[in-house]
Amino acid sequence: MTIHRLLWCLGVVALLISVSRTAYADELPAPQKVVTIEGITEYHLDNGLRVLLFPDPSRPTVTVNMTVLVGSRHEDYGEAGMAHLLEHMVFKGTPTYPNIPQALQDRGARFRGTTTPDRTNYFETVPASDENLEFCIRLEADRLVHSLIRQADLDAEFTVVRNEFERSENTPIGVLAKRIAAAAYEWHNYGKSTLGNRNDIERMPVAHLRAFYKQYYQPDNVVLIVARPSMRRKPSRSFSSLSEPSRGRSASSTSRVRRNLRRTASGW
Ligand SMILES: [Zn+2]
């Protein structure tokens, strides 16, 4: 796939996910090239999304990694474990991709999601081809804003997430790391585990998950990394037509984050 084709593709996918914009991909502003460092080129899209293109001729594969800049430090009181739980829910499907793990397996993908205090990421590595690259970009753009977040999926996922939590409780190094973080960050959210606690996980209302998702899973809060053997031409624009979020430019200015910062400053 040429770089132009890849950029066009990013635009088309974003258009598919857009709910308020009616422009066609060809009408979208072109991604703005920012800088190239050590062969990696950064582009900015009009909706705030950042793209890093990473040519890697050493492998016959394509990796698409979507990093959403939200993690456990953005959680509010009573929401411990929400960012990680949401990571699991974003694999549960969209109207276009009702079974995401199966769709990825059908492409021979190796895939995973991970959550830290600062970010949540989703990546897949597939055999290098134009079709596979376009599929990955369309999938990530779609589940960024169109994940279903259903109660039935949440009910089923509780067991999986609770199991991860219990495993962490049975790992000495994990328990030690948790204690050290709690002592080092007495009031900041960095001091609590990304896996959360049992009570909050088990009582998480699906409406809170949806609100958290809608607030932070937006194009201006995402860095998309594409690594592939050849970058001879510009990437497509499948993400470009995603609407700029109505909540404003940056998730870091949201009331939730301000509330967390106030809480940290006042020590409660
Ligand atoms: Zn997990």
CA 162 to centroid of ligand 1, rounded, Å: 9
Residues 6+ apart with CB under 8 A from 139: 97, 100, 103, 104, 124
pLDDT at 247 over 80: no
Residue 256 · residue 76 · CB < 8 Å: yes
CA 161 to centroid of ligand 1, rounded, Å: 6
Q: Quick one: pLDDT band at residue 62, thresholds 50, 70, 90? A: very high
CA 205 to centroid of ligand 1, rounded, Å: 18
Per the model's pLDDT, the better-predicted residue between 156 and 22 turns out to be 156
pLDDT at 238 over 70: no
Average pLDDT over residues 84-112: 97
CA 2 to centroid of ligand 1, rounded, Å: 35
Residues 6+ apart with CB under 8 A from 215: 247, 251, 254, 256
Separation CA 112–CA 76 (nearest Å)? 26
CA 47 to centroid of ligand 1, rounded, Å: 29
CA 114 to centroid of ligand 1, rounded, Å: 7
The distance between the two most distant Cα atoms of the chain, rounded to a whole number of Å, is: 56
CA 198 to centroid of ligand 1, rounded, Å: 14
